[in-house]
């Protein structure tokens, strides 16, 4: 089903499929293609409205009777690490960061496979082959970087994050790490490192994807101070996580045509 605005990107809706976060629910996404000369502007604009990038597509949850998924970002100016996060920083002080153009390598894919096989063997990406992995990393029409973290002594690749550069921050598109080092809190540490990179470069936000109340696998995002969520068309500071409703309701989501009409698009001039 297609929805569009005059002289604007066309928006589509996916068919319902099982939700990967909350059992027994169906998910649906509103999405548009990310291409052409205005791709960077479109990504910047829609990221501020709760959209996420996957290769050359921008999408946002648009489930028919559920609005649990909330886009989340860290306000760098309001972030202060907790005691456990400071411990994660110390535990990973032996790692070195290197950012480069989005280019996939065999070493990255080997790490990616170990990560999936250990932590997400039944997930939607479990069958991704090396060519699909390369497409995930390399098919980007905007400013993106592959951020690699290696052991300073051995040179071993320990963690990787595909990161988009927005006009107001960094967007962590996808990250993975050595599963044998899970006790080092590498997932948390990569977020902390991105907060530091954003601070060093005067960028106000680090975008983390979706926080889903009621989903154990997404609960860690609520542990970061300065977290904001995109709710009812605006960003707001995260309150008590337990106060957010994950229940379904037939009026949770506006009609698709109304959602599209309320999307702010970048000025195509210039």
The number of distinct structural domains making up the chain is 2
**165 & 249 share domain:** no
Give the closest residue to 157 by CA, choosing from 144, 172, 147, 170. Answer: 147
Query: For the chain, how many helices (H) and strands (E)?
Result: 6, 15
**24 & 121 share domain:** no
Show the domain range for 56. Answer: 2-69+245-261
**34 & 101 share domain:** no
**44 & 143 share domain:** no
**42 & 86 share domain:** no
Q: What is the DSSP letter of 3?
A: E
Q: How big is the chain, counted in residues?
A: 270
pLDDT, tens digit (0-9, with 9 covering 90-100), for 106-163? 999 999 999 998 876 566 677 889 999 999 999 999 999 999 999 999 999 999 999 9
- The pLDDT value given to residue 249: 67
Question: Could you tell me if residue 269 is inside a domain?
Answer: no
Helices (H), the chain: 39-47, 83-91, 106-119, 130-138, 186-200, 256-261
206: domain CATH number?
A: 3.40.630.30
- The pLDDT value given to residue 120: 66
Global pTM value: 0.91
- Return d(Cα 18, Cα 197) in angstroms, integer: 36
Question: Could you tell me if residue 268 is inside a domain?
Answer: no
- The pLDDT value given to residue 31: 96
Q: What is the DSSP letter of 35?
A: -
From the first residue on, what is the mean pLDDT of each consecutive set of 10 residues in the chain (270 residues)? 59 92 91 92 96 96 88 98 96 96 97 88 75 95 97 96 98 95 89 98 97 85 96 92 74 79 77
């Amino acid at each position: 089903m297609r929805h569009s605005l005059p002289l604007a990107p066309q928006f589509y809706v996916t068919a319902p499929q099982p939700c990967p976060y909350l059992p027994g629910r169906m998910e649906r996404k509103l999405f548009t293609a990310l291409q052409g000369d205005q791709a960077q502007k479109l990504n910047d604009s829609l990221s501020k409205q709760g959209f996420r990038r996957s290769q050359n597509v921008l999408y946002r949850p648009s489930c028919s009777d559920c609005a649990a998924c909330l886009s989340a970002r860290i306000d760098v100016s309001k972030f202060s690490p907790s005691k456990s996060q400071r411990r994660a920083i110390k535990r990973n002080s032996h790692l070195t960061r290197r950012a480069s153009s989005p280019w996939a390598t065999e070493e990255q894919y080997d790490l990616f496979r170990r990560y999936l096989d250990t932590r997400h063997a039944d997930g939607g990406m479990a069958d991704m082959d090396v060519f699909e992995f390369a497409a995930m990393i390399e098919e980007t029409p905007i400013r993106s970087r592959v951020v690699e973290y290696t052991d300073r002594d051995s040179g071993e690749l320990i963690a990787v994050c595909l990161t988009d550069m927005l006009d107001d921050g960094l967007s962590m598109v996808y990250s993975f790490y050595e599963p044998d080092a899970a006790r080092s809190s590498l997932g948390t540490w990569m977020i902390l490192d991105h907060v530091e990179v954003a601070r060093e470069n005067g960028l106000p936000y680090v975008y983390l994807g979706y926080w889903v109340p009621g989903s154990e696998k997404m609960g860690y995002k609520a542990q970061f101070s300065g977290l904001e969520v995109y709710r009812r068309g605006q960003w707001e500071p995260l309150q008590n996580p337990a106060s957010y409703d994950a229940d379904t309701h037939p009026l949770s989501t506006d009609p698709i045509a109304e959602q599209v009409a309320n999307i702010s698009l970048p000025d195509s001039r210039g």
